[in-house]
Structure 1
Amino acid sequence: MILLRHELGEVLREIRQDQGRTLRDVASTSAVSLGYLSELERGTKEASSELLAAVCAGLGLNLSEVLELVRDRVERVETFSTPVSLPVSPAVDPDQVSASAA
């Protein structure tokens, strides 16, 4: 099952690390507590839209940019977790199999 908070947390962490920034730095520029930002990145907390917008601003990105990255991750996970349909042969009546074998 896909948990949006996990995918969002992964995206936020990847962006921060790609920028070469620390949790403390992003928390400070976002006006979000260090502990809460850490929980967001680990996917243990759900972010309100206001909080998420503040974190995005602290990362120097638009909310839509971050959500697009999350959408891409979710789509990738859905693709990998979609069951593959296998061809199924028609049901065979066991009585017919026994009769033809005799």
Structure 2
Amino acid sequence: MILLRRELGDVLREQRQEQGRTLREVSAAAKVSLGYLSEIERGEKEASSELLASVCVALGLRLSQALLLVSERVALAEELAVPVRLPVAAARPVVSAA
């Protein structure tokens, strides 16, 4: 199952790590508790739009960029989750022996 909060958390963590910044630095800049930001990055908590905007500003990331990255991850996960249809033999008609 695709969880938006997990994909969002992964995007935020990846962006932070690419910048070489610590969770503490970003949480201070975003004015959000370290523990709460950690839970968001792990996909355990849903970020409000206000909190997400604050974290994006702290990361120097436009909200639209973050959401685009999340959208790309969800699209990829959907492609990977598409069930493969297996060929099924046609059922034989039942012939009564009368």
Same fold (TM over 0.5): yes
Q: Which runs of 5+ in 2 are unaligned?
A: none
Question: For residues 1-102 of structure 1, what are the structure 2 equivalents within 5 Å?
Answer: 1-93=1-93, 95=95
Looking at structure 2, the residues matched to 18 and 94 of structure 1 have their Cα atoms a distance apart, in angstroms, of 64
TM-score (norm 1): 0.87
1:25-74 CA distances to partner (integer Å, 9 max, x unpaired)? 00111111111100000111000000000000000011000000000000
Q: CA RMSD in A?
A: 1.4
Aligned residues: 96
Looking at structure 1, the residues matched to 25 and 83 of structure 2 have their Cα atoms a distance apart, in angstroms, of 42
- Farther-moved stretch of structure 1 (26-35 vs 78-87): 78-87
- Farther-moved stretch of structure 1 (64-73 vs 85-94): 85-94
Partner of 2:87, secondary structure, is coil
Aligned amino acid, residue 32 of structure 2 = V
Counting aligned pairs with the same residue, the percent is 62
Aligned amino acid, residue 75 of structure 1 = A
Looking at structure 1, the residues matched to 87 and 35 of structure 2 have their Cα atoms a distance apart, in angstroms, of 50
- Farther-moved stretch of structure 1 (83-92 vs 35-44): 83-92
Which ranges of 4 or more aligned residues in structure 1 deviate by more than 2 Å?
A: 85-90, 93-96
Bigger helix fraction: 1
> Greater CA radius of gyration, 1 or 2?
1
TM-score (norm 2): 0.91
